[in-house]
Chains A and B, each alone.
Chain A
């Protein structure tokens, strides 16, 4: 089963994303901070990561750049999920290595479509 790592310090968002992805047939690993996200990505080898940009400790950007530096996780597709919607924020997200950028408030249905699209794109 395709496994998706979800890292967000907001438990509502975490629960919501996990519920929707679970409903869409994905196996979900949900964590509440950046350090746990990094650890889980290395230990569990998910197929995709959804990272909140602003988390306590390591931010989503920090996690993304550390994933890219590590050979084992460098190819892991990453979707940033964040309330920061300015063009500079989006550009920074992509420059750090994100494959897609979803702005909060978000549509759970659209998020699933994005996950499917990113997985399909990175698989080809």
Chain B
């Protein structure tokens, strides 16, 4: 309201200007100028007044809707969070609402779709189906107006309407409006149908600047498809587009697709794109399959590019296989500072054997230091360490400092959570819980 008043005040000042201008302006200026300014000021005033009136009308409408829906709130809550019999009763009462009352409560019902899942969402979807809202949205996916198509796509996506997948795929691949394609991608992700994986991956090939959907939206949608899309994603690892291959690597790692390990190892070993190799290394670390160890060890050493090496070192830490200890211990002395800095935390990630190696590197000969596991993988980066400057050579001050830093950081991470719970004295008695909360 205050800002609207400010705008009106500024417009009034503008409107007053033309009366002062004729005396201030040189006589050579055309005499129509003051009139033009006057008309401009009047137009501005009208616009400001129109905006203010529209806002006020919107506020009044929102208030009217609120008043109309307020008595129905308990019914909505019972629909989504009640016991099964309450849910059924609420659904039948909401289905029977007169059309004008339903129109005012419909936005509140639709809003609940994105907030609940499971049975609660199923109840909301059932109600929207019964009231014909979803049928209308399915039809609206083919409307002429882009806003109507986008709104419909948003609704069928929020409702998880699997029957809309073909229409949404068509919107994603062929709609002339970029915004509609973006909403369609998001909706396909929310529905979670595996058949959406191929069109979502294809959309990654399109250049962003020509109405293409942003890659992060497509990647997020693919992620939401979950392991069901693993087959499509694994097939995409040999796509012509590096962007598609890199995204497929990333998603496979995140959805825990352990069946794709062999294909990911192949990408890590020989993909032409360092980005794809780096993502493959990260994915293999996330998947945690020991069979990836030799490829990750090889990728952690030169001549692999720096980005691939750093991802491989992190992945070795996540893999948790103690056979990587001597490799990572050797990398503490690596020429590449980023690789060397990550080797310490990766050793911490390997648990006891990794920490022992760090103690050994931090303080050679100390009692904590012990021999590495017998079946350790050959220390691939030894050659790199041999060429390192004296400070960064094994046993040098830089390596000792890196090892100490990793140990201190690990201790800090352990100490802080341990200190955050000084006492459980206020914990609730079990009898009270059973009696009150069950």
Binding site for B on A (CB under 8 A): 1-2, 10, 12-13, 15-16, 19-20, 23-26, 45, 47-48, 65, 68-69, 71, 74-77, 87, 95, 97, 104-110, 115-116, 119-120, 122-124
Contacts and interface: CB of A to CB of B under 8 A. Distances in A.
A2 to B, nearest CB: 5
A17 to B, nearest CB: 8
A123 B81 CA distance: 27
Interface stretch (B180-188, B370-378, B424-432): B424-432
A16 B115 contact: yes
B120 interface: yes
B422 interface: yes
Nearest to B286: A87
Given A75-B426, A107-B116, A123-B430, A115 B417 contact: no
Contact of B116 (A2, A65, A106, A124): A106
Contact of B421 (A15, A16, A68): A68
Interface of B: 73, 77, 80-83, 111-112, 114-121, 254, 413, 416-417, 420-430, 432-433, 436-438
A104 B77 contact: no
B429 A74 contact: no
A108 B80 contact: yes
Contacts of A77: 427
B81 A19 contact: yes
A25 B423 contact: no
Contacts of B420: 65, 68-69, 74, 97
B73 A15 contact: yes
A12 to B, nearest CB: 6
Contacts of A71: 422-423
Nearest to B434: A120
Given A20-B81, A108-B81, A75 B421 contact: yes
A15 B78 CA distance: 11
A69 B423 CA distance: 12
B81 A97 contact: no
A76 B429 contact: no
Contact of B82 (A23, A97, A107): A23
A106 B117 contact: yes
Nearest to B426: A75
B115 A26 contact: no
A75 B81 contact: no
Contacts of B117: 105-107
Contacts of B119: 107, 109
Given A10-B115, A13-B115, A105-B115, A47 B428 contact: yes
B120 A24 contact: no
B29 to A, nearest CB: 52
Contacts of A68: 420-421
Contacts of A45: 426
B426 A123 contact: no
A23 to B, nearest CB: 7
B111 A105 contact: no
Contacts of A15: 73, 77
B118 A109 contact: yes
> 9 nearest interchain CB pairs?
A107-B118, A68-B420, A108-B81, A20-B81, A105-B117, A19-B77, A2-B436, A123-B427, A47-B428
Contacts of A25: 436-438
Contacts of A105: 114-117, 121
Nearest to B430: A123
B428 A75 contact: no
A108 B120 contact: yes
B417 A97 contact: yes
Contacts of A20: 81
A2 B81 CA distance: 20
A42 B80 CA distance: 32
A119 B433 contact: yes
Contacts of A10: 115
Given A24-B437, A107-B116, A109-B120, A97 B428 contact: no
15 contacts: A2-B428, A10-B115, A15-B77, A23-B81, A23-B83, A25-B438, A48-B428, A65-B420, A69-B420, A71-B423, A106-B115, A107-B118, A108-B81, A116-B437, A119-B437
Contacts of B73: 15
A120 B433 contact: yes
Contacts of B114: 105
